[in-house]
Chain A
Amino acid sequence: MTSDTTGTHGAVLQDTTPDENGPIVELRGAGKSYGNIRALHGVDLTVFPSRVTCVLGDNGAGKSTLIKIISGLHQHTEGDFLVDGQPVRFGTPREALDKGIATVYQDLATVPLMPVWRNFFLGSEMTKGPWPVRRLDIARMKQTADRELRNMGIVLDDLEQPIGTLSGGQRQCVAIARAVYFGARVLILDEPTAALGVKQSGVVLKYIAAARDRGLGVIFITHNPHHAYMVGDHFSVLRLGTLELSAERSAITLEELTNHMAGGAELAALKHELAQVRGVDVEELPEADELTAPVAQPSPEGTS
């Protein structure tokens, strides 16, 4: 975390810093129903500092619902949600931010027509002067934004350019740098590599690693097991709103992860049916009994 944090959350964080070993964010059997639709059910998830927790799942698996609960956009309807060991229930994203939980959304939560530096500080602007003439401290904000972006390895010529003129990867990195600067202890990344090319995805993965090395707990939502495996310490696979797999990095291989992610068990069942159809190659699909990755979650102390 930045030691020279001057943003509005700096003071708050000093008070809420927990003991170093415990999880920052913990979900215990958490779930969410929208009316009679159960989008998420019985999900356990723990997020530790300096570790990347990957949440994988196909479309509609409940990934979005999960991050909406943690980021304060929605509230869970069952189970417990703990931050620093205390049960919480966020009414607005602001409350989550104040606890140090920052989310980089798929649409990046940037305002395309606004300059980069205004976007960087949006919602947490630096000001100077007493109330009636309290105004933006533009020089300091530009300077800080430039320094923070450079610290994350992002070099921009002109912070006045509208953020909409940046490439997808650059915008992603600005959003990550913003979250890191504002004292985030937990960074939630919602499919940061989904719309990016190979090279840009690599750049974003680097920043995820950079954020982790700064001591943040990262929740990396993705449906790409390869990207997840490059940076992840712990993997949770969601399917149809429940946890299908929860495994430490040491307990799972990329291949197993890919199979789980791709709905391996279902594919194995489909294999026999597909084998009847000419032109469908089923040789590479796994058999059901090959999928033996652990589903129980190992205790975090044992691996850190």
Chain B
Amino acid sequence: MSMTRQAEPAVGTPPAPGPGQRDGRTAERPLVLRMLARPEVGVFLGAVAVLVFFLVAAPAVRQGSSMATVLYQSSTIGIMALPVALLMIGGEFDLSSGVAVVSSALTASMLSYQLTLNIWMGVIVALVVSLAIGAFNGWMVVRTGLPSFLVTLGTFLILQGVNLAVTKMVTGNVATDDISTMDGFDQAKAIFASSFDVGGVQVKITVVWWLVFAALATWVLLRTKYGNWIFAVGGNKDSARAVGVPVNLTKITLFMAVGFGAWFVGMHQLFSFNTVQSGEGVGQELIYIAAAVIGGCLLTGGYGSAIGPVFGAFMFGMVNQGIVYAGWNPDWFKAFLGVMLLGAVLINLWVQRTATRR
């Protein structure tokens, strides 16, 4: 006994300081700087700038109906940009998201038309197929450890080929047959592709869905366990796993969320145009990713917000329609977008550097 007393380790317990004590090393940063450090503030300012620019340059934008069109355009990008942004925060990409939209619409359309089922059967099967595509992407990524860029590039090419080949095989055409006379069409259209009246202006229902999904995504991201895990798996996968976060589950469900978004947008396209062109959707995935990046999400994961991509998608819709309303040659659209993307990324970078500097 005395042996151990004698050989007692040299270091004792530190004194516990009372509450209320501060270490005094961090000065309170000004509110403006703290605001700027939020991921969505840069893109918010950018969206306001683009809006003001077109309000001045294109008088036609000032009408309510034009604004409704801009919002509609934004919503179709924005609904997909949300899950794509969450996935990006979780540290992965999905290049197949653009064609997955078309795959979903094709599935619903052809299944119900060829088997003369109620349209809802097609819609539900399409949801299952979309979620399965997402789950496959996620499973491949976590299982193989390959970069999601490669895995989803593969899925992208597969889906692109399957979309065309199967549609031609089934319908003998590159587009599906018109489904507008089938059972359940009107109900489904009411949910996915109707309009409603706000003070004499027709607003598409996708705008409402867009904002509902954005609110939901924000809540999940900032206020739930799952949201915490999204940041963690994107920020440092190994650390997250070591403290008990189910990394694989989180990533797979994020890919499935993209699948859900693809299904929703696919259904919207199907019920607003009645037919689906099987070759569409290529290139859209980059638009979604760009909207997420403009929205302040870090390409490498671990940082971002759900509200940022809302403004990112709005910038896209605004520029897209603004060019038309301003009477300019729409050929310039993509060039304008490219400049906007680079500008937004640089502004984000600058804002973050300035605001997080201590």
Tell me whether B302 and A123 are in contact (CB under 8 A): no
> Which of B9, B21, B26, B241 has the most CB atoms of chain A within a 10 A radius of its CB?
B9
Tell me whether A111 and B25 are in contact (CB under 8 A): no
B115 within 8 A of A: no
Taken together as a complex, chains A and B put the C-alpha atoms of A112 and B22 apart, in Å, by 22
Chain B 3-31: CB-based contact to A (< 8 A → 1; otherwise 0): 11011011111111111011111100000
A97 to chain B, nearest CB (A): 5
> Which of A71, A103, A110, A114 has the most CB atoms of chain B within a 10 A radius of its CB?
A114
Tell me whether B16 and A134 are in contact (CB under 8 A): no
Tell me whether A123 and B223 are in contact (CB under 8 A): no
Q: Which of A93, A127, A155, A205 contacts B11 (CB 8 A)?
A: A205
Tell me whether A122 and B243 are in contact (CB under 8 A): yes
Chain B residues with Cβ under 8 A from A94's Cβ? 244
B231 within 8 A of A: yes
Taken together as a complex, chains A and B put the C-alpha atoms of A250 and B22 apart, in Å, by 41
Chain A residues with Cβ under 8 A from B243's Cβ? 93, 97, 109, 122-124
Chain B residues with Cβ under 8 A from A92's Cβ? 244
Given contacts A111-B235, A114-B231, A157-B26, contact A103 B242 (CB under 8 A): yes
Q: Which of B9, B238, B241, B358 contacts A52 (CB 8 A)?
A: B9
> Which of B12, B14, B224, B231 has the most CB atoms of chain A within a 10 A radius of its CB?
B14
B239 within 8 A of A: yes
Chain B interface secondary structure, helix, strand, loop or mixed? loop
Taken together as a complex, chains A and B put the C-alpha atoms of A228 and B154 apart, in Å, by 52
Interface residues on A, range: 35 or more
A80 within 8 A of B: no
Tell me whether B3 and A303 are in contact (CB under 8 A): yes
Taken together as a complex, chains A and B put the C-alpha atoms of A206 and B239 apart, in Å, by 24
Chain A residues with Cβ under 8 A from B307's Cβ? none
Taken together as a complex, chains A and B put the C-alpha atoms of A208 and B245 apart, in Å, by 25
Taken together as a complex, chains A and B put the C-alpha atoms of A58 and B341 apart, in Å, by 51
Tell me whether B231 and A93 are in contact (CB under 8 A): no
Tell me whether A231 and B302 are in contact (CB under 8 A): no
Taken together as a complex, chains A and B put the C-alpha atoms of A213 and B12 apart, in Å, by 9
**Number of B interface residues in the complex (CB < 8 A):** 44
Taken together as a complex, chains A and B put the C-alpha atoms of A158 and B231 apart, in Å, by 20
Tell me whether A249 and B14 are in contact (CB under 8 A): no
Given contacts A114-B232, A127-B225, A136-B225, contact A304 B4 (CB under 8 A): yes
Taken together as a complex, chains A and B put the C-alpha atoms of A250 and B242 apart, in Å, by 35
Tell me whether B223 and A122 are in contact (CB under 8 A): no
A157 to chain B, nearest CB (A): 4
A262 within 8 A of B: no
Given contacts A109-B239, A114-B235, A161-B26, contact A153 B15 (CB under 8 A): yes
Tell me whether A125 and B225 are in contact (CB under 8 A): yes
Chain A residues with Cβ under 8 A from B17's Cβ? 150, 153, 155
Tell me whether A107 and B224 are in contact (CB under 8 A): no
Tell me whether B235 and A107 are in contact (CB under 8 A): no
B240 within 8 A of A: yes
Chain A residues with Cβ under 8 A from B236's Cβ? 109-112
B156 within 8 A of A: no
Chain A residues with Cβ under 8 A from B235's Cβ? 111-114
A76 within 8 A of B: no
Inter-chain contact count A-B, CB under 8 Å? 139
Chain B residues with Cβ under 8 A from A41's Cβ? none
Given contacts A157-B23, A158-B26, A233-B9, contact A123 B245 (CB under 8 A): yes
Given contacts A113-B303, A153-B15, A230-B10, contact A107 B239 (CB under 8 A): yes
Chain A 119-155: CB-based contact to B (< 8 A → 1; otherwise 0): 0011111010000001110100000001100111101
B337 to chain A, nearest CB (A): 28
Chain A residues 38 to 57 lying within 8 A of chain B, measured CB to CB, are 52
Tell me whether B232 and A111 are in contact (CB under 8 A): yes
Closest B residue to A95 by beta carbon equals: B244
A119 to chain B, nearest CB (A): 8
Tell me whether A122 and B15 are in contact (CB under 8 A): no
Given contacts A110-B239, A111-B240, A136-B225, contact A122 B232 (CB under 8 A): yes
Given contacts A113-B303, A114-B231, A157-B26, contact A249 B16 (CB under 8 A): no
Chain A residues with Cβ under 8 A from B242's Cβ? 71, 73, 93, 103, 105, 109
Tell me whether A230 and B11 are in contact (CB under 8 A): yes
Given contacts A127-B225, A209-B12, contact A157 B7 (CB under 8 A): no
A159 to chain B, nearest CB (A): 11
A selection of 25 A-B contacts at a CB cut-off of 8 Å is A73-B242, A93-B242, A109-B239, A111-B302, A112-B236, A114-B228, A122-B239, A123-B232, A123-B243, A125-B225, A135-B219, A136-B223, A136-B225, A138-B223, A151-B16, A153-B17, A155-B17, A155-B22, A155-B23, A206-B12, A209-B9, A213-B13, A233-B9, A249-B7, A303-B3
User: Residues of A with Cβ closer than 8 Å to B?
Assistant: 52, 71, 73, 92-94, 97, 103, 105, 107-114, 118, 121-125, 127, 134-136, 138, 146-147, 150-153, 155-158, 161-162, 165, 202-203, 205-210, 213, 230-233, 249-250, 303-304
Interface pairs A-B: 4 shortest CB-CB: A123-B244, A111-B235, A123-B243, A153-B14
**Apart from the given pairs A155-B21, A206-B14, A233-B9, 7 other A-B contacts in the complex at a CB distance below 8 Å:** A93-B243, A110-B239, A114-B228, A121-B228, A150-B18, A209-B12, A249-B9
